[in-house]
Amino acid sequence: MYIRQYQMSQFAVFSYLVGCQKTKEAAVIDPAGDVEIILDEAAKNNFRITKIINTHGHIDHIMGNADLKKKTNAAIIIHEVDAHFMTAHSSYKLMMFDAQPSPSPDVLVKDGDTISVGEEKLRVIHTPGHSQGSMCLYAKGYIFTGDTLFVEGVGRTDLPGGSWPKLLDSITKKLFSLP
């Protein structure tokens, strides 16, 4: 599995280019802003971006969706509980974040679903707490946690839909049980 991490936007969101070396299919996880650097890396490695995966629907994690969708026609994927965020952000909030509204999702996923990127498989783990529809993506040896878990902390729970008890439950019962 090819993985390239990018620190994007003024909010230090981590975005990822994840690709299958064999099929050259790729996905972008949490495109947070200017996507040109990701598109350049994909082109350099002959990857075809077919999926845009959002770990949750907060604006800082979806603000590159419109541009990336326009340039790749990739399917937008999000957990079914956070799908409403895609069209719910106000024009004021979009202006504050210098973002375009996200197109509607093409695919809604739930806990236990598998997202294929070529021959690579990402398992959806529903991890509510930061948002009601937060999800992590697990592949053997790798975990993409969005704003559920950071290197030195956890995601905020003071935003609408956030819950400290649910976040702790998600981390201790779901993430800590991974190999």
Mind listing the domains of the chain with CATH numbers? Answer: 2-175 (3.60.15.10)
pLDDT for 145 equals: 97
Question: pLDDT tier at 87 (50, 70, 90 boundaries)?
Answer: confident
pLDDT averaged over every residue in the chain: 92
pLDDT confidence band for 109 (50 / 70 / 90): very high
* Residue 37 pLDDT > 60: yes
C-beta separation of 132 from 82 below 8 A: yes
| pLDDT on residue 96 | 60
How many C-beta atoms lie closer than 10 Å to residue 22's C-beta?
9
- Does the pLDDT of residue 90 top 60, yes or no? no
Q: What pLDDT was estimated at residue 95?
A: 55
